[in-house]
Amino acid sequence: MKLDSNARYAESHEWVRKEGDLMVCGITDHAQEELSDVVYVELPEVGATFAKGEQFGVIESVKAASDLYIPMGGEIAEVNEALEDSPETVNEDPFGEGWMIKFKSSDPSQWDSLLAPEEYEASAGGE
Amino acid sequence: MPYSPHTDADRREMLAAIGVSSVQELFHDVPESFRFPDLKLPKAASEMEILDELYAMALKNSTTGCFAAFLGAGAYNHFVPSVIPHLAGRGEFATAYTPYQPEVSQGTLQSIFEYQSMIAELTGMDVVNASHYDGATSMAEAAIMAVNVSRGRRRKVIVSPWIHPQYRHTLRTYLPGGQVTITGDENLRTNLDDLQGMLDDDAACLIIQNPNFFGELMDVDGLADAVHDAGALLVVVANPIISLGLLRPPGDYGADIVTAEGQPLGAGLNFGGPYLGVFAARKDYVRGMPGRLVGETTDTRGRRGYVLTLTPREQHIRREKATSNICTNQGLVALMAGMYLAYMGKGGLRAVAEMCYHKAHYTAAQIEQLDGYQVVNYAPFFNEFPVKCPKPVAEINSALLEEGILGGYDLQQDYPHAENEMLVCVTEMNTREQIDRLVAALAEIGAR
Amino acid sequence: MNQPEPLIFEMSSPGRAAYTLPELDVPRAPLPEDYVRDELNLPEVSELEFVRHYTRLSQKNYAIDTVFYPLGSCTMKYNPKVNEKAASIEGLTHVHPLQPEATAQGSLKLMYELQEALKEIAGFAGVSLQPAAGAHGEFAGVLIMRAYHQSRGDTRRTKILIPDSAHGTNPASSAMSGFSVVEIPSDERGNVDLEALKVECDETVVGLMLTNPNTLGLFEEHVLEVNETIHACGGLIYGDGANLNALMGIARPGDLGFDVMHFNLHKTFSTPHGGGGPGSGPVGVSQQLVPFLPGPIAAVEDDHYKLVMPEQSIGRLKAFYGNYGMFIRAYTYIRMLGPDGLRAASEHAVLNANYLKAKVAPHFPVAVERTCMHEFVSHGDVEGTDVRALDVAKRLIDYGFHSPTNYFPLIVHDALMIEPTETESKQTLDAFADAMAHIAEEARTDPELLHTAPHTTPVTRLDEVQAARNPVLRYKG
């Protein structure tokens, strides 16, 4: 499976990466493959705050609708509006253009408890 | 046993293939003490006998057709063109399943797509679902949807008391337990200005019925703006739905969700069911809509076709997070409604609506001239209007029944302040002769 | 039949009309100009065009009247035509629901008799016919359980236990009632895991929602113990009656300890599916829950039938009394079968399912090796190939069968849930089994044929991704 070596992972298949003083978040390649064609992504409003592990959105494919959980607590600074017209970007480039939210982390130390790329690969591969 | 094709030879071969010697053996998992109970039911009837039994039951009824009928209040006596039961009764429509395999369900899917389109046109809205159970439950689900649209942040539903009492009762059954506050109809005389006054940050929606339960056309100028300024949704119950053949649809005056009882569109009276829950919304809210949706797409050869779409919102995938628990809806009744709208068409629906309007206004004008009777609030109305009677409505209706007339709804049973008020309903089925007979009977009964 | 059929709008011509109406026999009243609409863009077609359009559309459907429909959990049995005749008796149907009771004694008697029959069949003390469909009946059932606990001042109960094999309406109905859902796993024999259940049983449990036979088509081997466990911690048992076709005259859920159950008249009792309804989902309850039934319900006193609201009713679930047209059909069916016929129906439903299982299993292994009830679940993928249940389901259409239920229950991968019902002959079952054998072979020799099936239908596989990404949900002229 494809992985981003700069990112860290949640067991619920979201990845998160540092970009300046914001964190960027999306879903993994493994997740998009399981979902198959993404048809819609429901994203939160800018300014909304979430605790670590809270649901921030929903991703829909033809056969499923899955909740999205934020890997670290924080306040939403930006959402990827391009996904409204082109939800398939999540399938095509899950770690790049398919990013979903950028947020200001409320507790940077939460980064340390996330899974490293190899750890995620092991846990997801076991599914 | 009727409908069973099995012969003794069939049974023997099948048991042998399974590897048991009797059918009873297949039930070994059923606790022995409860196995094979004696059902105390009448023994099997032949086709002749059951039909005889049902004809006898039917004789204990007086059909609406026996009377000059002036009763509405949520179920309406309209003419059903013969083509509709004839076509809807075709086995290919009636005995088909939910169209989960679209390649073999294009008949159902295309006809429901047509229904969705025609109801969108009728209500002035963008998106229509494939049906809900009836007018009451679609209103309840609209309220739930409004709360969900606010992501649960708004938990107040403002409801006009001038909505059908059974609908408001159903709404409260759907939302028990105080998680959502339902308010606005505690005082049954609350008017539209008062309702608007209840709008605040906690209001998820404001629900009105137009024409209202008393038949009046509501003055909705500025209503949608007020509701939207408060961040809430405007829900309009468009009953009776035939009125939309003549009147401005709620989509035109800013409704976010429109629900209605679709029974007048070809379903007949049927002692209350099966009826049809019409549910329509603005396209912004499509992903929050309960119920099934039929969408247009193409097949592998580029041909146009229809499928159920946006299905992950529904119970079979989203389970406890679904927009609703609805699965089987009122598919065949929606098909009939689509047929009715297509058959009556642009000219016909307007003609039926106008007939209802003119006949009702003639009736009101005649009754207004009677001593002791008064048409209440001679405001704009469609085909139902309240009449204040010189005696209790129950007494008047009893006397009317003896003359072969089915009187209107006793409003006082739900609205204590509407003393001796009868809700009279007139449709295209009422002839002038029937109307004149009603008026004469009312005069005579009033004078007794 | 495979010709594309235009939309009715596309067949329209301005000025065409099909309808006739009498002339207006009263003076015209002035129209309320501020309220009158500008446009109404409905179709304008002639009657013949109308008739051809809908007749041709109907010919694009599969239906029970034309093909075998082995849809698990749907009970696609024959829809008798005498039911249709009964439901069109004008004396029974042309009755306004708000007419005085004295003028509707026939209609009320029929409702009452159906209530009594359903009570007897399932072993309950009370029945309400009001819910319009199974899911509606489930919602009623959960509300009844809630009302019962509240009436006893027991407000700690907030959890509903639901097996992982349950139909999606079960958790959806629980959530609608404001309860949280706790999933109980199934064991390897397809039963509810009794130990896992015992762990969850405490005084915060509202009850258990149990489908028996379950969605694997298997009878709960410990059903008495399961129900006793729940009762012991003060909870109630809700039965999803979708699979009642296996139990008529075989066992009564009320006897087995179920407190409340919904019926599906459009499954067990032969009323037609209509392409998505109308159905009817009456709810039956044990003695202690009778006061809480939704209403009004039919009652009789001194030979006079009337409508009454149960004393502590959860309220109205909809306007009026339920899908009355379906009551007539179900009542007719129950009377035509009688107690012996109902038992024979269930026996033959189970016989047919076990026979079909024996013939299909060699090609598509069964999920659990046990005697099944009225349905069974096979794995629909073919080992050593990339053929999945979906492909098998689509290819069956080319053989003239409707697909079985697929991808449900969720606990079996590539599930094909197959329910033949009792109205199918051995010949039909043999033909279906043959088709399955051929398809298993095709999976090995020509998998592409399956991936692109069906081939013989008015449309081939449809682009559901496009339909979901850019929904087009109405005609735009």
Q: What is the CA radius of gyration of chain A?
A: 13
Preferred mutation among B270, B359, B385, B432 to probe C, highest tally of C CBs within 10 A:
B270
Nearest-CA distance A118 → chain B (Å): 31
Residues of B in contact with A65 (CB under 8 A): 312-313, 317-318, 321
Residue C51's φ and ψ, nearest 5 degrees, are: -65, -45
Q: What is the pLDDT of residues C64-111, one digit of tens each?
A: 999 999 999 999 999 999 999 999 999 999 999 999 999 999 999 999
pLDDT of residue B315: 66
Instruction: Report the predicted TM-score, pTM, of the whole model to 2 decimal places.
Output: 0.95
Q: Is C350 on the interface with B (CB under 8 A)?
A: yes
Q: What is the pLDDT of residues B299-336, one digit of tens each?
A: 999 999 999 998 867 767 677 677 687 777 899 999 99
Q: Which of residues 68-127 of A touch B (CB under 8 A)?
A: none
Q: What is the dihedral of CA B22, B26, B29, B30, to 10 degrees?
A: -70
Contact B1, C344 (CB under 8 A): yes
Residues of C in contact with B51 (CB under 8 A): 82, 85-86
Q: Is C304 on the interface with B (CB under 8 A)?
A: no
Cα–Cα distances (Å) from C242 to B322, C70, C105, C135, C351, in that order, read 20, 15, 31, 10, 18
Q: Is C435 on the interface with B (CB under 8 A)?
A: no
Structure tokens at B195: 């309702």
Largest CA distance in chain B: 84
Q: What is the pLDDT of residues C225-281, one digit of tens each?
A: 999 999 999 999 999 999 999 999 999 999 999 999 999 999 999 999 999 999 999
> B317, A63: Cβ pair inside 8 Å?
yes
Contact B254, B234 (CB under 8 A): yes
DSSP states of C107-127: HHHHHHHHHHHHHHHHT-SEE
DSSP states of B252-285: GGT-SEEEEE-TTTTT--GGG-S--EEEEE-GGG
Q: Is A65 on the interface with B (CB under 8 A)?
A: yes
> C354, B18: Cβ pair inside 8 Å?
yes
Q: For chain C, give the percent of residues with pLDDT over 70.
A: 100
Q: What DSSP designation does B151 have?
A: T
Preferred mutation among A37, A40, A41, A66 to probe C, highest tally of C CBs within 10 A:
A37
With 90 as the cut, is the pLDDT of residue B176 above it? no
Contact C185, C410 (CB under 8 A): no
Q: What is the pLDDT of residues C370-380, one digit of tens each?
A: 999 999 999 99
Q: Which residues contact C130 (CB under 8 A, 6 or more apart)?
A: C140, C282, C294, C295, C296, C297, C316, C317, C318, C321, C322
Closest-CA residue of chain A to C469:
A39
Residues of C in contact with B99 (CB under 8 A): 275-276
Option in C4, C21, C132 nearest B351 (CB)? C21
Provide the phi-psi class of C25: left if phi over 0, else alpha when psi is between -120 and 50, else beta: alpha
Q: How many CA atoms lie within 13 A of B375 on its CB side?
A: 23
Closest-CA residue of chain A to C407:
A63
Closest-CA residue of chain C to B43:
C338
Q: For chain A, give the percent of residues with pLDDT over 70.
A: 98
* B110 pLDDT tier (thresholds 50, 70, 90): very high
With 70 as the cut, is the pLDDT of residue B295 above it? yes
> B105, C96: Cβ pair inside 8 Å?
no
Q: How many CA atoms lie within 13 A of A55 on its CB side?
A: 9
Chains that touch B (3 or more CB pairs under 8 A): A, C
Nearest-CA distance A87 → chain C (Å): 8
Residues of B in contact with A61 (CB under 8 A): 312
pLDDT of residue A126: 61
pLDDT of residue C406: 85
Q: What is the dihedral of CA B222, B226, B232, B236, to 10 degrees?
A: -30
Beta bridge partners of C128: C283
Mean per-residue pLDDT for C27-54? 96
d(CA B252, CA A37): 36
The SS3 of residue A120 is helix
Closest-CA residue of chain B to C278:
B330
> B11, C7: Cβ pair inside 8 Å?
no
Residues of B in contact with A64 (CB under 8 A): 312, 317
Contact B164, B213 (CB under 8 A): yes
pLDDT of residue B196: 97
Mean per-residue pLDDT for C39-65? 96
